[in-house]
Structure 1
Amino acid sequence: MTSKRKAPTGILGFPTAPLNESGNIDEKALAINIDYLIREGLSSIFIACGSGEFHAISRLEYQRMVEVAIETTDGRVPVYTGVGGNIKDAIELLRLSEDLGADGYLILPPYLVNGEQEGLYNYYKTIIQTSELNAILYNRDNAIVNLNTLQRLVDQFPQIVALKDGHGDMELNLELVQTIGNRLEWLNGMPFAEITMPAYANIGYSAYSSAMSNYMPHISKMFYDALLEGNEALVSEIYINVLLPINRIRKARKGYAVSLIKAGMEIQGFPVANTVRPPCIPVESGHYQELKKIIVSALEKYPVTSEQTTNL
């Protein structure tokens, strides 16, 4: 891949869609979220994707979120947008992203329908041929491409720079990585990706999307560095003290993969209320207090050093 076609690696930043008291996007809070992720060393910004409530924002809100991301990032890291769902909407959002100056885009699953492999091939083909921007495919839910489909797409479109996996079929992942190799970057997009990253790293996945980085990025980095360096004791310690306790809360309610991020950010003092749009639900009081205890304990065990930035 050329530098232009190089996909983000390392820890990927997925900002939220912070809402104000009126239920509208809080652009100032969004800019703070994005700037914080960049200052904490995350490699890229993925705006208006799953964590950014792509499913629940209007076209105008989408545009403003992308504009805020590009303005705030100011060329420091690449900006990728989320496109997908209705095929016509996906193309329009891609064109808008390109016009606004995004570096690439993540293709989210098509709306509702479970298509055959040929249908998925044509879904991706129709979107990708619209633009020269870098494209990242996303194996998740009703959009799981097999080896043959992925090979056809990457042979035809140099724009495809990576595949993000949120499905968790490790047999399929091994087949894809071993066959296609370094033609693509391989990104772990499982919910709370730190939990599965040891398994993914062992088969060639170079990056992951980190929800926890929105409120404890220094621990995400500490964990990832320990994983890469083979520090099994520290990896296990962070699992026991931080990751597994938070993951138990995440699995307690559907939609917590989104709302738990905002709860963690609010606990850490960010101007982000524990508020999400339906069908997601905010983190309930009991779980909120559990999360707060975990965060307080984690920060006592793994304090932010003087070399690391503060949240605001």
Structure 2
Amino acid sequence: MNDGVLFFPVTPFDGNDRVDGELLGRHVAERVADGAAAVFAACGTGEFHALSHGEYETAVAAAVAATGGAVPVVAGTGGPLGHAKDCARSADRLGADGLLVMPPYLVGGPQRGLVAYVEALAATTELPLIVYHRGSATFTPESIEALLRIPSVVGVKDGVGDVAAAQQFVRVAAASGRQVLFFNGLLTAELSQAAYRAIGVPLYSSAVFAMAPEIATAFFVAHRDGDSKHTAALLDGFYSPLVRLRDETPGFAVSLIKTGLRLSGLPVGSVRAPLVDPSPEQTDRLAALLDRGRELVA
């Protein structure tokens, strides 16, 4: 996973609001060819929250088939514990290489309950687990220490943005002697990745890679190589305006990516409720931003 961008595909829906597994396979295969280091299927960008169990299986199976073993496939799971267990079993059976454990649904719990949630999933499958530190599953350093005693927990994705806490997590892992994958999972993570790299977190998720791989890859290479001039140009000219557009409407972290793919000619359909599509005016602004990003890359 250290050799390229971590790719979070969308889940395409056809005109009858069914998961289009064939189109998803094409989407994944194209981005693997574009250099994705791993595929995170049916996760946040893939609208895990809106998929039935059967649709989840369709999405994971399509991603696994499309990669052909070229890169790891990490499938999402989470929500109600029974559903999360069912998803874990399905992902294992369908050939996924790991699971991204997203937060439980609706209810909150104490730290020992959050650890127990991950333990229950670890007992359900032997697949490696990456724990998503976000929302109702916000962990303390002590809980991260407990989670790292679970052999199958191999990584932590930070979606909170508390860099001081993230650094404590990194130090807990170092003290444990384990090799742990930490990565920046904030929305539009490119905007904050310099801070995460400084505390020893070199990996980050890129939703932009799904709709504009040339822009996301250019940023990844410039950031990796220490090309501050190029990273600054992309941050100022593309990523910062994209974040301002994203923040206008809840859920646009997913909606804009699907819209960008439709603008490129891939008919991935709309997002499902409770998310909404951008207005025509917002779509025009996104199109202009993508043009500007590609100009900066060129």
Q: TM-score range by the shorter chain?
A: over 0.9
Equivalence for 1:34: 28
Which amino acid in structure 1 is aligned with residue 80 of structure 2? Answer: N
Q: Which residue, 150, 154, 159 being the options, matches 2:152?
A: 159
Separation in 2 of the partners of 1:297 and 1:9? 26
1:8–1:240 CA distance, 2 compared to 1 (3 A): closer
**Could you say which residue in structure 2 is the equivalent of 1:307?**
none
Match of 1:309 in 2: none
Q: 1:117 aligns with which of 99, 111, 118?
A: 111
Question: What stretches of structure 2 of length at least 5 have no aligned partner?
Answer: none
Mapping for residues 108-147 of structure 1, pairs under 5 Å: 108-147=102-141
The yes-or-no answer on 1:265 pairing with 2:261 is: yes
C-alpha spacing 1:8/1:109, structure 2 compared with 1 (3 Å): farther
Once the two structures are superposed, the pairs formed by residues 155-194 of structure 1 within 5 Å of their partners are 155=149, 157-181=150-174, 183-194=179-190
CA distance in 2, matches of 1:153, 1:13: 25
TM-score for the superposition, normalised by structure 2: 0.95
- For 2:221, the aligned partner's letter is D
How far apart, in 2, do the equivalents of 1:162 and 1:133 lie?
12
Task: State yes or no: 1:203 paired with 2:196.
Answer: no
Superposition deviation, residue 179 in structure 1: 2.6
Query: Pairwise CA RMSD of aligned residues?
Result: 1.3
Identity of aligned residues (%): 34
> After alignment, is 242-251 or 221-230 more displaced?
221-230
CA contact (8 A) 2:8 2:207 kept: yes
Q: How does 1:159-308 map to 2 (within 5 A)?
A: 159-181=152-174, 183-273=179-269, 275-303=270-298
TM superposition outliers: structure 1 runs of 4+ over 3 Å: 7-10
- Partner of 2:295, secondary structure, is helix
Q: CA deviation at 1:272?
A: 2.0
Number of aligned positions between the proteins: 295
For 1:52 and 1:9, the matched residues in 2 are separated by 23
Tell me how far 1:8 sits from its aligned partner: 6.4
What one-letter code is carried by the residue in structure 1 that aligns with 2:273?
P
Given that residues 8 and 44 in structure 1 are in contact (C-alpha distance below 8 angstroms), is that contact kept between their aligned partners in structure 2? no
Higher mean displacement: 56-65 or 20-29: 20-29
Q: Deviations over 1:167-211 (max 9, x none)?
A: 111111111112313631111110111111111111111211111
TM (norm. structure 1) is 0.91
Contact 1:185/1:206, CA 8 A, preserved across alignment: no
CA contact (8 A) 1:16 1:53 kept: yes
Q: Distance in 2 between matches of 1:37 and 1:146?
A: 35
Return the letter of the residue paired with 1:280: L
Cα distance in 2, alignment partners of residues 17 and 94 from structure 1:
18
Q: What is the letter of the counterpart of residue 130 of structure 1?
A: T
Question: In structure 1, how many angstroms separate the alpha carbons of the residues matched to 2:61 and 2:223?
Answer: 35
**Helix, strand or coil: the match of 1:82?**
strand
TM-superposition CA deviations, 1:130-173 (whole Å, max 9, x none): 22111100000010111111111212x22111100001111111
Cα distance in 1 between the residues matched to 2:292 and 2:144: 43
1:12 aligns with 2:6: yes
In structure 2, C-alpha distance between the alignment counterparts of 1:267 and 1:240, rounded to whole Å: 22
Conserved? CA contact 1:154–1:160, under 8 Å:
yes
Correspondence for 2:100? 106
Q: Distance in 2 between matches of 1:292 and 1:206?
A: 30
1:80 maps to what in 2?
74
Q: Distance in 2 between matches of 1:167 and 1:9?
A: 25
Give the deviation of 1:271 after TM superposition.
2.4
Equivalents in 2 of 1:222, 1:37: separation in Å? 14
Structure 1 unaligned spans of 5+: 1-6, 304-312
